[in-house]
Each structure stands twice: as structure tokens, then as C-alpha cells.
Amino acid sequence: MRLGYLDAFSGISGDMLVGALVDAGADPTELCAALDSLGTGARFRFERVMRGGLAAIKFQVEAEGSGPWRHLGDILRLIADSGLPGRVKHNASKVFERLGAVEAAIHQVPVERVHFHEVGAVDSIADVVGACLGFELLGVEEIHCSPVNLGGGVIQTSHGTLPVPAPATAALLKDKPVYAEGPTVELTTPTGAAVVAALAAAFGPMPAMTLRAVGYGAGSRELPGRPNVLRLLVGEDNRVPEATLISVLEANVDDSTPEVLAYALERLLEAGALDATLEPLYMKKGRPALLLRVLARPEDQERLAEIIFAETSTFGLRLYRAERRVRARHSIEVELPEGKVRIKVSEDGRFAPEYEDCRRLAAASGKPLRDILMEATLAYWKNR
């Protein structure tokens, strides 16, 4: 699988993304020809520029004015009627549908009545379609993104002066890792946020890959102290199957009751923790205590940390990254007189009945759990 990793240390916009894709090897002539099929009358060109000492590609869209304000339906028809490949049409439409839903919620109007303002202009349509096409030309099958630098300050829009991040940008990146660093300018635009929100498979550290290409897309302005570029790294996936980077959260607790800690574990697991455990230990002065350890997806780390602080007596946490590796597996179903049970089967042939399925059938039928587990095991052996 070919991966694309977006390093948004200076934010992300649509034109920066298209520029980075071309710099990484996407054919600019083919890209421009495909954008021409949109029939907008705009002209497209790529220029090599310097940003903070780094050479980068600037994507330019030249059009007469900004064109009409468009509704979501207008943009989707424009994409559907173009000569773009099918997956590019699908992805570009997905980006605009995500953006339309956010704009509708912000302005409290039905999505079909949303005017896209700046985002409906020719240059933004070219940015979104060009980004989706660029990934296709590079053969990128899965997109990952770093935590996103949003910038700061205020911007002038058709709705007046608004804080950075713009409301649409903030809504699009909800539950994604973001931060603000550097100059007080808008570093991430709604267009850039919409592309990564709709298409990125994960946010966080760069996945393990064999690096094949690097591209830099230029932003519009020079920024003091940093190159205003988006970096794209493209490579072949060499992750171990089912290996992922996770966050580990730990705390030593010696003054919470067992009831409180049991409830904290329940809340953490319900909130998406991959696992949560308690281990006995002795602390200073011979105090018996418990070690709370939580395994989490990096994007869930802060939310789970807040639950730990809220539900336990700890004043501090240890946080670090680790690699979680499990064998590739799949599930099949077996039919018992009491109902269906999923069986987890690993790549080396080991298997185990799904506990929750067996527990549910045992509770409903009144049979002992061990009998349901045995029945499921025998059923799998007979049908393998």
C-alpha cells in the first residue's frame, strides 16, 4: 500500500496541498488538463518559489473575479459532469459534503441553502479537486496527517472579522489533534481542513514506510522564523500487520477506594480506551497502592486523561508512546442452539470465541458460561 503523510507544521491549505503533490511527483500537465474539464474557464499554473530557505511549489489559479457563489448542489454537479476519474469524483464530493454539513450547522440553515462564499469560488474548487486528483496520480491509497498547526489572530471574511481558527476550520477538525504555534496568522484554512477531515485515515505520528518521495507546497506569504510550506511524504507501507502507535497513560493511586477505581475503569473503556488495567504495587513509606494503566489511541489521549483526573484522586499522569502489535485476525460466526457466536481467528490459526457473545447467550439461556464457550469451540472445529 502506498501511503501519504501530511506534515502540517505550518498549517494546511488547498493550494499548499496541490503544490506539495506536484512537487512529490504528480504530473502538473495531467492535473491541469483534468481541472480544465471542470469548465470553470480558469487557468492553472505551478511556480517554484522559496519559503524560508526551502524550495516549494506554489499552485496558482487565475480566473476573472471569484465567480458566482455556489450551493453544494452546484458544486457536486460540476464535479459529476467533469472528466475526472471515478474515485477522484467520489473523494472531491465527499470533501464538499463534509464542508457543506459544517457550514449548515454553523449558520443554522439547511445544507441545500448554504452559500459557500469563498469556498465556492473557482480557486477553492480547483484546490479540492486538484488535491484529490494529485493523490490519485501518485497512487496514494491511504492518507495520514500530523497534528495540525492552526495559527492565531483574526481574519477578515464575508461575515466580518472572525477569530482563527475560522469557525468552519474548528468544526471540521473537531476531535482531531491541533495546536497553535508561530505567527498570529491563519495557517489552516477551511479548504485544507475539509480535505484532511474527509480523507485522512489517521492523525498523529508518521506511519512506518519506505520513503519514495517528498514534496513541499508553498503558502501565499513568507512567515518570520519558519518556512511556510506543507510537507508531503510518500512511501510504501512497511508497518507490521496490526502494529500501531498508541499512547500509554499511567498513574500510581493510593487514596481512592476500589469502588471509585472500578467505576473509573468502566468510564475509560466506554470512552474508547483500548485497555485499562489496575496492578497492585507498594509506594514510598510502604503504602499499598494500585497502578492505573490505560492504552489509548493518540487522538484520544487528552480526553481520557481528563476522565482519569475527574474520576480518581491522582494529581499527575505519566504519558508516553508505545507500539501496540497484535496478530492479524478475522471473525467468523458459528450457529449454536442458543444463537450466534463470533469466533476470532488469527493468521496462524489460533482462535477464541468472542466472550461478550458467549456471555450474552449464557445470560439469556440460563446455561453456564463454560458450556456456551465449549459449544462454540466445538462448532468452530466442526466447520473449519
Same domain, 68 and 176: yes
Could you give the number of structural domains in the chain? 3
Tell me what percent of the residues of the chain surpass a pLDDT of 90: 58
pLDDT for residue 289 is more than 50? yes
Same domain, 53 and 151: yes
Distance of CA 183 to the CA centre of its chain: 25
Distance of CA 341 to the CA centre of its chain: 32
- Cell 496490526 sits on residue: 242
| CA-wise closest residue to 132 among 204, 58, 198 | 198
pLDDT for residue 91 is more than 60? yes
Task: Look at residue 116 in the predicted model and tell me its pLDDT.
Answer: 62
- If one counts every other C-beta atom within 10 angstroms of the C-beta of residue 284, the result is 8
Same domain, 10 and 49: yes
Query: What residues make up the domain containing 61?
Result: 2-237
140: left (phi over 0), alpha (psi -120 to 50) or beta: beta
User: Considering Cα of 137, then 86, then 42, then 36, what sign does the dihedral take?
Assistant: positive
Same domain, 172 and 263: no
Q: What 8-state DSSP symbol labels residue 117?
A: G
Query: Which of these three, 277, 300, 325, is where a domain ends?
Result: 325
pLDDT for residue 68 is more than 70? no
Same domain, 318 and 337: no
Task: Look at residue 117 in the predicted model and tell me its pLDDT.
Answer: 54
pLDDT for residue 10 is more than 50? yes
Return d(Cα 333, Cα 383) in angstroms, integer: 10
Query: Which of these three, 303, 325, 347, is where a domain ends?
Result: 325
Residues 6 or more apart whose CB falls under 8 angstroms from that of 109 comprise none
Same domain, 157 and 271: no
Same domain, 232 and 368: no
Same domain, 166 and 312: no
Task: Look at residue 50 in the predicted model and tell me its pLDDT.
Answer: 93
Query: Which of these three, 187, 213, 237, is where a domain ends?
Result: 237
pLDDT for residue 94 is more than 70? yes
Same domain, 75 and 184: yes
pLDDT for residue 118 is more than 50? no
pLDDT for residue 236 is more than 50? yes
pLDDT digits (tens, 9 = 90+) for 342-355: 999 887 788 999 99
Same domain, 221 and 310: no
Task: Kindly report the average pLDDT of the chain as a whole number.
Answer: 89
**67 vs 378, higher pLDDT:** 378
Q: What angle separates helix 14-23 from helix 122-138, to the nearest 10 degrees?
A: 30
Strands 275-282 and 229-237: unpaired
Same domain, 276 and 156: no
Asked, as a colleague might, if the bond just before 207 is cis with ω within 30 of 0, I would say no
Q: What 8-state DSSP symbol labels residue 206?
A: P
Same domain, 98 and 231: yes
Return d(Cα 375, Cα 321) in angstroms, integer: 40
Instruction: Give long-range contacts, CB 8 A cutoff, 24+ apart: 264-269.
Output: 264/292, 264/307, 264/308, 264/311, 264/312, 267/307, 267/311, 268/294, 268/304, 268/307, 268/308
Here the CATH number for the domain that contains residue 247 is 3.30.70.1380
